[in-house]
Amino acid sequence: MDAIIDSLAEKFPNITRVYTIGRSYQGKSLRVIEITKNPGKHIPGKPEFKYIANMHGNEVVGRELLLLLAEHLCEAYGKMPGITQLLDTTRIHLLPSMNPDGYERYVRKHEEDCTSVIGRFNANGVDLNRNFPDPYDNRENSLQPEVKAVMNWLKSEPFVLSANLHGGTLVANYPYDNIPPELKKSTVRVYYGSPDDDVFVKIAKAYSSQHPTMRKGDPKCPIHRNERFKDGITNGAAWYPISGGMQDYNYYHSNCFEITLELGCCKFPPTRYVKDYWYANRKALLSYIKLVHTTGIRGFVTEPDGSPVEGAKIVVDDRTKKVTSFQDGDYWRFLVPGTYMVRVKKRGYKNTAKTVTVDEGVSSVVNFTLVKRGESRSNVASITGRFRAAKAIMANKIQLSSQESDPLVLSSTAFRANLNFLNAVFICSLLIGLL
């Protein structure tokens, strides 16, 4: 894995960057390869996407697929228009192995076994997909280093969309995975959808529909012969509820919508079948990434003078899920086609709202302007202009004063005089603008 990542980074330095989000329990680097035009930092308005694989060390198909995906994206850039456009407009992050300790343990003990659970847990014996903070199960004190690394990663980048690659059956699984304690008393499986259940159904189908077998909903796994999934998708809780799952954490604690992809019945298939998995999933993997450009709304939240507003909350109708604007003011909000009332708010600013129509296959640009309380759009622009004029006058006065005294040092008396002048001009401008 490391050799492939390093080789791609060396061969394609203009579109790749390799970085580490943390270390495993045994100290192995959790390495990510970023693939995009001009890698290295967030570009305002450019969506961030991630794939994570090998969370369970014994489930290796996703690990191999992400390495093949990385090779495909790099090799096709500049040759295939669709891939070139995707990398020009999207920042893609691939974490092929979230559990390198578990993977290494499995490889040492077994070879090509479809059902073995050796290596599933990290080196500390913890299932990483049961270890994330959960609203119904407080586990803050027992978080594993791999989990902490992903949590910090989520905070550092404004991810929009994600998928977590697993193995053991064939289905696209979406939130919620967990259910409230009172529902756990039920003797039947409970469908427990999120406030954006319609969105998750849509994006899960976007993957399954592009997979030649998953979309049929009949995995035919030997140990789960009776499993059926309509359209190849399932609500996590309706399938079987879990606590501490990563996809629920993404939804609860970030702007990122994540689903879990089960890629096949065999967790660790013979090497000769890896290409078959790749051909079955290649179109779906690419189609899923493209959802960041074709689903819902996106745009910027700014002040009247164009300054970005970070941390503004974007609220849609009565949905409890809120997304927030990033440091550059940019935001993305996944929605299915329809008409919505979208409200934007932040402490210290007047709320604003727009009625928005979302069309199929298009991510509509919807920008919002927030005005600070006590101001209006017109006087903000006027005050800004007066303040800029005052700064120009002060700069001119300082230059003149400098010519009359020491050419390098402005006297404290002259400095105080100029500062008082600026304050007076600004206060007058502010008062006039508010009248």
Catalytic residues: 262
Which amino acid appears at position 336 of this protein? V
Kindly list the distances between the CA atom of residue 149 and the CA atoms of 24, 32, 33, 146, 219, in Å, as whole numbers in the listed order.
Answer: 9, 12, 15, 5, 33
- Please state the φ and ψ torsions of residue 262, each to the nearest 5 degrees: -90, 120
Which helix (H) or strand (E) element contains residue 154? helix 145-156
Which amino acid appears at position 167 of this protein? G
Which amino acid appears at position 424 of this protein? A
- Please state the φ and ψ torsions of residue 348, each to the nearest 5 degrees: 95, -5
Token reading at 183: 């529902």
Contact 247, 178 (CB under 8 A): no
All residues at 6 or more sequence positions from 8 whose CB lies less than 8 Å from its CB, including other chains: 16, 33, 70, 71, 74
Contact 163, 51 (CB under 8 A): yes
All residues at 6 or more sequence positions from 264 whose CB lies less than 8 Å from its CB, including other chains: 61, 167, 169, 170, 219, 277
H-assigned helices in 256-297: 274-290
- Please state the φ and ψ torsions of residue 244, each to the nearest 5 degrees: 85, 25
Token reading at 370: 């927030």
Q: Work out the burial of residue 44: count CB atoms within 10 Å of its CB; fewer than 13 is exposed, 13-18 middle, 19 or more buried.
A: exposed
- Please state the φ and ψ torsions of residue 336, each to the nearest 5 degrees: -85, 165
3-state secondary structure of 26: coil
All residues at 6 or more sequence positions from 385 whose CB lies less than 8 Å from its CB, including other chains: none
Contact 292, 50 (CB under 8 A): no
| CA-atom Rg of the chain in angstroms | 26
Kindly list the distances between the CA atom of residue 57 and the CA atoms of 4, 165, 172, 211, in Å, as whole numbers in the listed order.
Answer: 19, 11, 20, 24
What do you get for the CA distance between the two ends of the chain, in Å? 66
